[in-house]
Amino acid sequence: MNRFRLAQRLALVMLGLGLISGPAEARDPLPAPERGLAWVAGDLPPFAWVGPKGAQGYAHELAIRMAEKLGRPAEVSYYPWARAVKMTREGQHYGIFPLARTPDRETQFRWLVPLMTVRYSLVGLSGRPAQTLEQLRTQRVGVLRGSPIINNLRAEGFAEVIEARDYKDLLRLLHIDAISAIYAGAPMLNAAIDEYGYERQRFQVHATLGEATLYMGASLALSEVEAQRWVQAYQQLQADGSVAKLQQQYLRP
């Protein structure tokens, strides 16, 4: 037997005995329940966004501090919002914020920590005639892609709903008259107006429509044990006053 065939047979014997390993498989190193939680978010000020100073926001800071309490990697990955929602809904170990808790989402996610209850408004440019809900139904209205509040518009019979990647894009569409109004939660839209260099006086609220509570949510498949670890970390931050300080810093009117 030549040396090459002998080496082959020896390698097969060692592989069978577990003395060497075969090609690495494309899989997670640990089962999902043991992997912990990986946070994802989109550019949604004042809760989470990436600006000139880097990633920041109320929920972003909460996630970082909760991770530090648990001795976990303090990381948040940013994606287009619709993609972040899809990753969390279909994945096994993702956390996400700020996620509106709506009836259609109730059984699709694990709900960890409530952030804020918001009312949704239809906002246009000031200096133009105010419009009623009835008038806006026949006009183009912009909404964040991946947001469940689009269902509110559809239920009210809005004819043309334009979905945008983020709030920066919604504000751009409003200013070039591609849409007549933005449909969004006041805290998010006001923070985006500030962040992207607009003046709040340039906008007016036409009408309000619906409300929801925003959460730090997670993949439904995340284990109950892991979910409770993060909830307890949040409760510790509540007790030491960190939550109140972050609210004062980021959730200003």
The pTM assigned to this predicted structure is: 0.77
Q: How far apart are CA 64 and CA 42, in angstroms?
A: 15
Average pLDDT of the chain, as a whole number: 87
Residue 209 has what DSSP assignment?
E
Q: How far apart are CA 107 and CA 86, in angstroms?
A: 14
Instruction: Using DSSP bridges, classify how beta strands 94-101 and 203-219 pair: parallel, antiparallel or unpaired.
Output: antiparallel
Digit-coded pLDDT (tens) for 155-182: 999 989 999 999 999 999 999 999 999 9
Digit-coded pLDDT (tens) for 206-246: 999 999 999 999 999 999 999 999 999 999 999 999 999 99
32 has pLDDT over 60 = no
Q: How far apart are CA 148 and CA 57, in angstroms?
A: 22
Digit-coded pLDDT (tens) for 89-123: 999 999 999 999 999 899 999 999 999 999 999 99
Instruction: Using DSSP bridges, classify how beta strands 38-41 and 76-78 pair: parallel, antiparallel or unpaired.
Output: parallel
30 has pLDDT over 60 = no
What phi and psi values does residue 196 have, to the nearest 5 degrees? Answer: -100, 15
Q: Are the C-beta atoms of residues 150 and 225 closer than 8 Å to each other?
A: no
Average pLDDT over residues 74-102: 95
118-212 to CATH, choices 3.40.190.10, 3.40.50.2300, 3.90.110.10, 3.90.1170.50: 3.40.190.10
Three-state DSSP class for residue 156: coil
Q: How far apart are CA 65 and CA 17, in angstroms?
A: 45
What is the crossing angle of helices 58-70 and 224-239, to 10°?
110
pLDDT at 146: 86
- Domain residue extents for the chain: 32-117+213-250, 118-212
Structure tokens at 49: 């966004």
Structure tokens at 160: 């043309």
Q: How far apart are CA 114 and CA 98, in angstroms?
A: 9
Architecture of the domain spanning 32-117+213-250? 3-Layer(aba) Sandwich (3.40)
**Is there a shared CATH topology between the 32-117+213-250 domain and the 118-212 domain?**
yes
